[in-house]
Amino acid sequence: MTERADIKSMTPEELTALITGGGFPKFRAKQVADWLKKGAASAEEMKNLPADLKKFIQNYCYISVAIIEKKFVSRYDKTVKYLFAFADGECVESVVMRYRHGYSICISTQVGCRMGCTFCATGKSGFSRSLTASEMLAQIEAAQRDLDIRVSNVVLMGMGEPLDNFENVVRFIRLVSSEQSLNIGTRHITLSTCGIVPKIYELAKYRFQINLAVSLHAPNDELRSRTMPIARAYPMEQLLRACADYFEATGRRVTYEYALISGVNDSDECARELAQKLSGTHSHVNLIPVNAVEGTGFNKSSIKRQQSFADILAGRGIAATVRRTLGSDINASCGQLRRKHIDSIKEDL
């Protein structure tokens, strides 16, 4: 499998080089690209190709697809959660949410995650491998086909740390926003990171117009490193400087994610310290009541605490929203479904 060419991850130029290198005329590459755009899963489906080109694709290439392994639809808000399987049997989760202005999909970038945040179901289940660009595209294509919709927003906020899979993620951003692929504008793409500082600088250099979300979850290093091991490698001061650089390079306001955990990071004092650290930055804070993951011992803050935290930020000029949680009945927070799936497979053995 690995020696075969992953044609859905290729740019039009790369695909042309491959097809012409195989002895076929250039216009055939465009035909193959058109079939891939239509979601063809095999050379067989590419009706207008000659038999020898179909054979070439079958022998030397593969087309990534995401197979629906499980699907859950929320009774409350029609949020849909998928467990998708790839060719090697590895599974990831994706969630489709419906907003007033269209559909948004949250996709995974890795099978598992190396970062080990203690509140996160993905972090708790270890790391298997990174996804290719085509496997990220395949999640969107499969959901669009299944629901007969067109997705308008993509968030890289599912399983995995996107900046720990940098090259494939950059390739994905280029492809998904290109006319030849799904044509989703970069302003409609959000990348969430736990804060790998050198990679934020690297990303800024591309000057993509994507939204950057940074998972902060604490107002200082001491508290942050209790739940996020990455905080020990990259202190908050460095992280905030990298975010300022990102804003300068791209003009895009950075969003900070802050999961409110009862009795851990949700005090008024934490809110005041956070407001002080973020004052003067071009940012927005998303407050999310933490999703209680089995075995973590963490619980969400009370509504009163959430409100008090948000009021303190707002009172100090920091834009903050308490995010509504969608799909709360289907464990829509990524990582939880795969973990259950793996546990149930283990039980079956």
Binding positions for ligand SAH, rule: CB under 6 A? 119-120, 157, 161, 192-194, 215, 257, 259, 288, 290-291, 293, 333
The site partner of 32 among ligand SF4, ligand SAH, none (C-beta below 5 to 8 Å per kind) is none
Taking the least distance from each CB to ligand SAH, the nearer of 22 and 116 is 116
Residue 135 interacts, among ligand SF4, ligand SAH, none and using kind-specific CB cut-offs from 5 to 8 Å, with none
Phi, psi of 52 (to 5 degrees): -70, -30
Whichever of 7 and 115 has its CB closer to ligand SF4, that residue is 115
Binder to ligand SF4 among 91, 113, 151, 163 (CB under 6 A)?
A: 113
Query: Is 334 one of the catalytic residues?
Result: yes
Q: Which residues between 125 and 164 bind ligand SF4 (CB under 6 A)?
A: 160-161
- Asked if residue 194 binds ligand SF4 (CB under 6 A), the reply is yes
The pattern of x and - marking residues 212 through 251 that bind ligand SF4 according to CB under 6 A reads ---x------------------------------------
Q: Return the residue matching tokens 């598992």.
A: 112
Element (H, E) at 91: strand 91-99
Of 61, 106, 243, 334, the catalytic one is: 334
Task: Enumerate the H helices of the chain as residue ranges.
Answer: 12-21, 26-37, 51-60, 121-124, 133-147, 166-176, 197-206, 221-227, 230-233, 236-250, 268-278, 303-315, 336-348
Q: Is 123 in the site for ligand SF4 (CB under 6 A)?
A: yes
Compute the least distance from the CB of residue 291 to ligand SAH, in Å: 4
Residue 39 interacts, among ligand SAH, ligand SF4, none and using kind-specific CB cut-offs from 5 to 8 Å, with none
Query: Which position has the token pair 């992953």?
Result: 6
**Within 13 Å, how many C-alpha atoms sit on residue 308's CB side?**
14
Q: Which of the listed partners (ligand SAH, ligand SF4, none) does 290 bind, with a CB threshold of 5 to 8 Å by partner kind? A: ligand SAH
Alpha carbons 187 and 32: distance in angstroms, whole number: 28
Half-sphere exposure of 102 (CA within 13 A, CB side): 11
Residue closer to ligand SF4, measured from CB, 115 or 138: 115
**179 given a catalytic annotation:** no
Q: Closest Cα to residue 163, out of 111, 202, 209?
A: 202
Closest separation in Å from C-beta 112 to ligand SAH:
11
Strand ranges across the sheet with 91-99? 67-73, 80-85, 91-99, 102-107, 151-156, 189-193, 211-215, 254-260, 283-289, 320-322
Applying CB under 6 A, does 326 fall inside the site for ligand SF4? no
Distances (CA, A) of 304 to 114, 269, 301, 309, 318: 34, 15, 8, 9, 19
- Which spans of this chain sit near ligand SF4 (rule: CB under 6 A)? 113, 115-117, 120, 122-123, 160-161, 194, 215
Q: Annotated catalytic sites, by residue?
A: 93, 334
